[in-house]
Amino acid sequence: MKTILKGGRVIDPAHGRDGDFDVLIEDGTIARIGKNLPVDGADVFEVKRGWIVTPGLVDIHVHLREPGQEHKETVATGAAAAVAGGFTAVACMPNTDPVNDHAGITEFILKKAAEAQRARVYPIGAVSIGSMGEQLAELGEQKTAGCVAFTDDGRPVATALLMRRALEYAGMLGVPIINHCEDPSLKGDGVAHEGYVAAKLGLRGIPGEAESIMVERDITLAELSGAHVHIAHMSARQSLRAVRAGKERGVRVTCEVAPHHFTLTDDLLDGPVKYDTNLKMNPPLRASADRDAMLEGIADGSVDVIATDHAPHHIDEKMVEFDLAPFGIVGLETAVPIVFDRLVHAGRISLTRMVELLSLNPARLLNVPGGTLGEGAPADITILWPDMASTIEAATLVSKSKNTPFDRWHFTGGVVATIVGGRVVYRNAAAV
């Protein structure tokens, strides 16, 4: 089966490419990239002027909720939401029910993903059994079954000793430990960023230092063990400061920031819809100094990856008192418009840097195929339109859950099509 993407601007930082090229796909692999390739019986996909062709986007922080919480999302609906958002691959978190702490669950997730035939799914396994922080899970077996990294996300890896051992062991296996950095005693029963807004609204606060104190612990332990630690959903400026210092010393630390943390601040809690539970997530929306720090880190290269922390919740669960609502918002289908609008069009990053943040770096970080458009690579390709007018409509999101703070927001930039293994698995009907 042959398909040729004709007439597009290809942006592929791995090969230093940014120019007009045709892409020939054969049997799910990229066969050739070149100028004015002959069609020769291939199906032609016209790439319009103004659209760009990039290696498939990879979201390394997604909650697919299956097994156990299928009312929020399933592997199938999540994988469909992923391709609708332009992602050809996602890495899914282990805080399912039961927790993905053994190979049977990893195999189950992979089976569901294969049936769905949308985005590729790379499971991330739990560091400890049940993510309870007491006993190491069978990381070796899990890696063989298909896990690409380990985390107790939802929770921090409980103790310094466990984190040290996990880093050593995972380092031996050649995979990173991803940590949800948060000191439980400082977090307490907080529900919002400990700032003026929470103080005014009477919400218990979570200081940025609850995150940074553990970031510093984990960088120290990564240094001690020589292994790779990846900081999940970084939000506090103090965390970024620690990451920069660690990188400077040569520690193997990487970090990700979610779109909401470089776009929104805690002021919104006191905005037109007060106490909107679609503004409740962990780590919380912080003050503008933190948001601005995240933007700086993204621009200057201290931030390695943009990952959504896609956290679907059923509307019944979110339509409650702020204290009771679960943390999290969906993100797969809002990431690309936000990145285009708030980073590229705002002049903070180039298109090339965007592809690094959303495709090349995440693929490399997890050591999975993708992130590049080299000949012989799997044909995982995203076609984007930087100037597309996008309006987020929560009700029509592909994801099973609609918990987003961006309902009715307008952005410039969106997804035209998503191609996985040479098959067009998503086509935006509005992009013609």
Partner 1 sequence: MTTSAETPSAAVALRSRHLLGIAGLEADEIRLILDTAEAMKEIGARAIKKVPTLRGRTVVNLFFEPSTRTRMSFEIAEKRLSADTLSIATATSSVTKGESLLDTVHNLEAMSPDMIVMRHGSSGAPHLLARTCTSAIINAGDGMHEHPTQALLDAFTIREHKGRLAGLKVAIIGDLAHSRVLRSNVLLLNTMGADVWACAPATLMPSHIERFGVHSTTSVDEAVDGADVVMMLRIQHERMHGHYIPSVREYFTLFGLTPERLRRAASDAIVMHPGPMNRGVEIDSAVADGPYSVILEQVSNGVAVRMAVLYLLSGRDATDVIDEH
Q: Is 101 in the site for partner 1 (CB under 8 A)?
A: no
Q: What are the angstrom distances between the C-alpha of 234 and each of 61, 74, 132, 182, 192?
A: 12, 26, 22, 10, 15
Residue whose entry in the numeric block shows the structure tokens 């609008």: 341
Burial of 235 (0-12, 13-18, 19+ CB in 10 A): buried
CB 188, min distance to partner 1, A: 8
Catalytic site includes residue 309: yes
Binding residues for partner 1, total number by CB under 8 A: 23
Which of 93, 203, 332, 366 is close enough to bind partner 1 by CB under 8 A?
A: 203
Q: Do the Cβ atoms of 313 and 70 come closer than 8 Å?
A: no
Quick one: 208 or 259, whose CB is closer to partner 1?
Answer: 208
CB 204, min distance to partner 1, A: 8
CB 195, min distance to partner 1, A: 6
- What DSSP string runs through 385-407? EEEEEEE--GGG-SSS----TTT
CB 405, min distance to partner 1, A: 15
Q: Which of 22, 101, 309, 341 is catalytic?
A: 309
Q: What is the Cα–Cα distance from 271 to 38, expressed in whole angstroms?
A: 56
CB 194, min distance to partner 1, A: 6
Which of 172, 245, 320, 389 is close enough to bind partner 1 by CB under 8 A?
A: 320
Give the range of 52-60, 119-127, 235-243, 273-281 binding partner 1 by CB under 8 A: 273-281
User: For the window 154-193, what string marks contact with partner 1 as x by the rule CB under 8 A?
Assistant: ----------------------------------x-----
Q: Is 202 in the site for partner 1 (CB under 8 A)?
A: yes
Q: Is 204 in the site for partner 1 (CB under 8 A)?
A: yes
How many C-alpha atoms does 147 have within 13 Å on its Cβ side?
30
Omega before 98 cis (within 30°)?
A: yes
Burial of 176 (0-12, 13-18, 19+ CB in 10 A): buried
User: For the window 297-316, what string marks contact with partner 1 as x by the rule CB under 8 A?
Assistant: -------------------x
Q: Is 327 in the site for partner 1 (CB under 8 A)?
A: no
Residue whose entry in the numeric block shows the structure tokens 């999975």: 368
Eight-class DSSP state of 378: B
Buried b (16+ CB within 10 A) or exposed e, 47-56: beeebbbbbb
Q: Is 86 in the site for partner 1 (CB under 8 A)?
A: no
Q: Is 199 in the site for partner 1 (CB under 8 A)?
A: yes
CB-based contacts of 149: which residues, under 8 Å, 6+ apart?
60, 91, 124, 125, 170, 175, 176, 177, 178, 230, 366
Q: What is the Cα–Cα distance from 303 to 353, expressed in whole angstroms?
A: 11
User: For the window 38-57, what string marks contact with partner 1 as x by the rule CB under 8 A?
Assistant: --------------------
Task: List beta partners, residue 58.
Answer: 89
Q: Do the Cβ atoms of 133 and 122 come closer than 8 Å?
A: no
Q: Is 89 in the site for partner 1 (CB under 8 A)?
A: no
CB 323, min distance to partner 1, A: 4
Quick one: 40 or 189, whose CB is closer to partner 1?
Answer: 189
Residues identified as active-site: 309
**Would you tell me which residues interact with partner 1 (CB under 8 A)?**
188, 194-196, 198-205, 272-275, 316, 319-324
